[in-house]
Amino acid sequence: MRRLLILSLLMGGCAASETHRSESAAPVSAPAPMAVPNHTTTIGYSVQRRPIELHQLGGDVTRPVLIMGAIHGDEQTSAAVASGMLDYLTKHPESMRDTPVAIITMANPDGYAAVTRVNANHIDLNRNFPATNWSSRSAGRARRNFGGAASASEPETLALMQTIERLQPRLIISIHSMEKPCNNYDGPAQAVAETMARHNGYPATPTIGYPTPGSLGSWAGIDRQIPMITLELPRRLPGDQAWQNNRDAILAAIAIVR
């Protein structure tokens, strides 16, 4: 009886020791990265009262990189790339490298809904900014790039201007599309454009080949000297492919302006 008791105690000790070794040997999985908070605010409304939303990654931030899509509503891949960047940075906040980022996925929601370049008042918002080169004579009303009878006449334009004045972004990336893709820069942004070119293969250029009076690049980049990139995507490239082709270029731009 005494021998059985000793044997039982020894076997129990071995089992406990084996359990301890098994637990200590179990691999410890790394904690999943925390998604960055996405603080969304409505910065204004379109002519048809659609909200224009600003997503600030990490909460209220100052001097962010401001990324903007679909100021021309028929350039819908621009919204796809801006939305792709919002989703990616929300899930991978380490990619921001401590640089705050703010994103407007759809600057012209009425135009996006109607698949038109202009807003509901038939104004090209990217010719409506009160830049020094704005002129009511620069484009006739019948043309698709008419900038309005007065600058800053549109609620969408005013919402974007007020947001830029408030945030004082360190860099603006406005996403568009055209037949000849490029990284067009205004203001002190040549180095950013050249960095992006190494990733997306589009040329870095100070012009898209024709005048753009009253554009965001003229108002923010040239007049206010905010580093400004107009990222022109290939017009016929599908949105998901445009996102894949330009993700690293935009991330590199965020990194260079820290």
User: 4-48, pLDDT tens digit by residue?
Assistant: 444 443 444 434 444 443 444 444 454 555 666 778 999 999 999
- Tokens for 189? 């942004």
d(CA 125, CA 119): 7
Task: Give the model's pLDDT for residue 6.
Answer: 40
* DSSP reduced 3-state for 254: helix
% of the chain beyond a pLDDT of 70: 83
For the stretch 114-135, pLDDT in tens is 999 999 999 999 999 999 999 8
Q: Work out the average pLDDT over 39-67.
A: 92
For the stretch 64-119, pLDDT in tens is 999 999 999 999 999 999 999 999 999 999 999 889 999 999 999 999 999 999 99
d(CA 232, CA 181): 5
pLDDT band, very low/low/confident/very high, at 258 (cuts 50, 70, 90)? confident
Q: Give CA 249 to chain center in angstroms.
A: 12
d(CA 137, CA 132): 14
Tell me the whole-structure pTM to 2 decimals: 0.85
For the stretch 222-251, pLDDT in tens is 999 999 999 999 999 999 999 999 999 999
In the block, tokens 């801006």 appear at 82
- b/e map 11-50, b = 16+ CB within 10 Å: eeeeeeeeeeeeeeeeeeeeeeeeebeeeeeebbebbeeb
Q: How far apart are the first and last CA of the chain?
A: 77
- Kindly indicate whether the domain formed by 38-256 is annotated with CATH number 3.40.630.10: yes
Task: Give the model's pLDDT for residue 23.
Answer: 41
Nearest to 141 by CA among 158, 118, 160: 118
Q: Which residues pair with 27 in a beta bridge?
A: none
Polymer length in residues for the chain: 258
13 against 254, higher pLDDT? 254
Give yes or no: 75 in active site.
no
Residues 126, 91 contacting (CB under 8 angstroms)? no
For the stretch 163-186, pLDDT in tens is 999 999 999 999 999 999 999 999
Q: Where are the domains of the chain?
A: 38-256
Residues 45, 53 contacting (CB under 8 angstroms)? no
Task: Give the model's pLDDT for residue 203.
Answer: 98
For the stretch 186-215, pLDDT in tens is 999 999 999 999 999 999 999 999 999 999
Question: Does the pLDDT at position 138 exceed 90?
Answer: no
